[in-house]
C-alpha cells in the first residue's frame, strides 16, 4: 500500500524557516517525480513545487521561488521542502503528492495519483 | 500572469448533468495544456478524476468525462449523485515544468 506521510508543520513567526518532510513507502520512491501542493484555509489548491526522479530538476511556483527549496533523499525514501522567509500568506496545509499531472515530463506515469494527508503550516506572530 | 478560471460554484439536481469548465484569463485551453481534474471533499486530500483532457483515472465512475468545449477544458458529470457534492479543481500545464490549478468549483447536489 502506498503511503505518503508528511511531518514538520507547525507555528512559525513571519520571516522564519521550517522544513517539511514526506516519508514514502509502498512504492519505488526513486522512480517517480514528487510534488508539494498547498491549500490555505478555506481556499483552493496551489501547486508549490515538483522535483524530478534524480533531483536534478526542480520547478517552483512564482509565489515561492527563491524562498522554498524542494529536495529528496532517495536512500531514505523522503521528500523535503525547506521553507525560508515565511510570510503570513504561506499559511496552509501542505500536501506531498505523487500525481501524474503535476509532472509533465513523465507521460508514462500520468495515471499515478497518491497524496499524503497534509501537514499544517501556520505563519503568525 | 495567466490565471486559470473556474466557476466558483455550481448546482445540479440528483440524476442531472452538469458541465464544469476550466479556462484561461488570456487565451484558449487546448489539449496541449494537458488539462486534468481533481475532486476534493472537506478534510480530505484531492483525488484525480481525469488526466490528459479525457482519460479517467482508475476507479473513477464513467459518469465523469473530460473534454475540450470551445476554448475551455470541461468536466461533465452525467447522472449526478449525492456523493458527487465536492470541490473540483482543474490543473493546466503551462510549460517549463510549471502547472497551475484553477480556483476550484464548489458543486452542490440538491
Chain A: nearest CA to B33, how far in angstroms?
10
Contact A14, A123 (CB under 8 A): yes
Nearest to A113 among B47, B87, B89 (CB): B47
Average pLDDT, chain A: 97
3-state helix vs strand vs coil in chain A, percent to 5: 10, 50, 40
* Contacts with B93 (C-beta within 8 Å, 6 or more apart), sequence order: A101, A104, B33, B34, B99
A117 vs B contacts (CB less than 8 Å)? 45
**Scanning the structure block, which residue is given the C-alpha cell 495515471?**
A111
Dist CA B48 CA B58 (whole Å): 9
Which candidate from A57, A99, A110 shows the least CB-CB separation from B52?
Answer: A110
pLDDT band at A87 (very low <50, low <70, confident <90, very high): very high
Q: Quote the pLDDT of residue B51.
A: 97
- Digit-coded pLDDT (tens) for A88-124: 999 999 999 999 999 998 888 999 999 999 999 999 9
**Do residue B1 and residue A62 have CB atoms under 8 angstroms apart?**
yes
SS3 category, A75: coil
> Greater confidence, A26 or A108?
A26
Residue B1 has pLDDT above 80, yes or no: no
Distance CA A105, CA B105 (A): 27
- How many A/B residue pairs have CB atoms within 8 Å? 71
Amino acid at each position: 500500500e502506498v503511503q505518503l506521510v508528511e511531518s514538520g508543520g507547525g507555528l512559525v513567526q513571519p520571516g522564519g524557516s521550517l522544513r517539511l518532510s514526506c516519508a514514502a513507502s509502498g512504492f519505488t520512491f526513486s522512480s517517480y517525480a514528487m510534488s508539494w501542493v498547498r491549500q490555505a484555509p478555506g481556499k483552493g489548491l496551489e501547486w508549490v513545487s515538483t522535483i524530478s526522479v534524480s533531483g536534478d530538476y526542480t520547478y517552483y511556483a512564482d509565489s515561492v521561488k527563491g524562498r522554498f527549496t524542494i529536495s529528496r533523499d532517495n536512500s531514505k525514501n523522503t521528500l523535503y521542502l525547506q521553507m525560508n522567509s515565511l510570510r503570513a500568506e504561506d499559511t496552509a496545509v501542505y500536501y506531498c503528492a505523487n500525481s501524474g499531472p503535476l509532472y509533465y515530463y513523465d507521460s508514462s506515469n500520468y495515471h499515478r495519483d497518491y497524496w499524503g494527508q497534509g501537514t499544517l503550516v501556520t505563519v503568525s506572530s | 500572469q495567466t490565471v486559470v478560471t473556474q466557476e466558483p460554484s455550481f448546482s445540479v439536481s440528483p440524476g442531472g448533468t452538469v458541465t464544469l469548465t476550466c479556462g484561461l484569463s488570456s487565451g484558449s485551453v487546448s489539449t496541449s495544456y494537458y488539462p486534468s481534474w481533481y475532486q476534493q471533499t472537506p478534510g480530505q486530500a484531492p483525488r484525480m478524476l481525469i488526466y490528459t483532457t479525457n482519460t479517467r483515472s482508475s476507479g473513477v465512475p464513467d459518469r465523469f468525462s473530460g473534454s475540450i468545449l470551445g476554448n475551455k477544458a470541461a468536466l461533465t458529470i452525467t447522472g449526478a449523485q449525492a456523493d458527487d457534492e465536492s470541490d473540483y479543481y482543474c490543473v493546466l500545464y503551462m510549460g517549463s515544468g510549471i502547472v497551475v490549478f484553477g480556483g476550484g468549483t464548489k458543486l452542490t447536489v440538491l
